A and B are shown apart, each in its own frame.
Chain A
Amino acid sequence: LAKTTQPISMDSYEGQEVNITCSHNNIATNDYITWYQQFPSQGPRFIIQGYKTKVTNEVASLFIPADRKSSTLSLPRVSLSDTAVYYCLVGAAWGAGSYQLTFGKGTKLSVIP
């Protein structure tokens, strides 16, 4: 199983860009990298997924270097409503025949006014 490591917590001011890095040194060839956001007493919400290079959607960007041993979630211009726990997940996508999923321990992001 890929072991993932991410910072326990981060603070940021409103309007700033936030980058959260996850390390996954033994990521497997079939593994994708996915980020989820979770608010208290709610289920995680899918943010973004990637395999390599850069992926961007309407809420975030995901940067994955060529060796894929780390990934960085970038949240542009955060607001107070972005205060949440962010999980990095490494695991095989559909069809790989594996359900080996490794969630990171989560990064608690606190956005300060």
Chain B
Amino acid sequence: DTEVTQTPKHLVMGMTNKKSLKCEQHMGHRAMYWYKQKAKKPPELMFVYSYEKLSINESVPSRFSPECPNSSLLNLHLHALQPEDSALYLCASSQFGGPTEAFFGQGTRLTVV
């Protein structure tokens, strides 16, 4: 199984809502990542988990809160988002190659209204 599965595929949320994005991989990878991708732009790294420990990208607002329950699962909790946070949120995982050799999920298309 060489897949990274993300749910939901689409999400519309209001600015006062709380929602969560989920990501799962069964490749035995020990690193997992969240990326944000705006239309016609490259992905931007948000968070990295290595062996279930967090490395934080300092430019990510606190309204985004990651969680890694175990080495196969990664969540991104969303609260009080802004319309400019609308984007494709991508989860990825890697083993020995690090963040530059990763398998990506299909993403969650998030729209904040």
Contacts and interface: CB of A to CB of B under 8 A. Distances in A.
Interface of A: 32, 34, 41-46, 49, 87, 89, 91-96, 99, 101, 103-106
21 contacts: A32-B100, A34-B101, A43-B4, A43-B92, A43-B106, A46-B102, A46-B103, A87-B43, A91-B98, A92-B98, A92-B100, A93-B97, A94-B97, A94-B99, A96-B98, A99-B45, A99-B48, A99-B99, A101-B100, A103-B43, A104-B42
Nearest to B94: A94
Interface string B44-63: 11001000000101000000
A32 B104 CA distance: 18
Interface residues of B, number: 27
Contacts of A45: 104
B103 A101 contact: no
A42 B106 contact: yes
Interface of B: 4, 31, 41-45, 48, 55, 57, 88, 90, 92, 94, 96-107, 109
A34 to B, nearest CB: 5
B1 to A, nearest CB: 16
B45 A101 contact: yes
A45 B101 CA distance: 10
A44 B43 CA distance: 9
B42 A87 contact: yes
